[in-house]
Amino acid sequence: MYFVYLIECEGGSIYTGLTTDVARRFEEHAAKKGAKYTRAHRVVKLLYAEKHKNRSKASKREAEIKSWKRERKLELVKHGKA
């Protein structure tokens, strides 16, 4: 099982990522052992996560969400769809 997740970072930016374990990955980001972006921008909280059956589907969804503007990402967080 794979998850696409959104994390709010300091300054209000939203980081989108992919993992098999959301809690572990969030802790890695918080400990500055995550992605380059989250090492430079402190993570604040997990905003959203969605489950996918395989890495291929999760990667495609991650790329789709990353292409969105902030407002659409917040709509996903609020309503679970966008």
21 Cβ partners below 8 Å, 6+ apart? 3
Pairing of strands 43-52, 2-9: antiparallel
- C-alpha 58: how far from chain center: 11
Q: What is the pLDDT of residue 5?
A: 98
Q: What is the pLDDT of residue 82?
A: 62
CA distances from 39 to 5, 36, 74, 77 (A): 17, 5, 22, 23
Q: What is the pLDDT of residue 53?
A: 97
Which regions of the chain are under pLDDT 70?
81-82
Strand-pair partners of 4 = 18, 50
Domains of the chain: 2-79 (3.40.1440.10)
Q: What is the pLDDT of residue 71?
A: 96
Q: What is the pTM of this model?
A: 0.93
Q: What is the pLDDT of residue 34?
A: 81
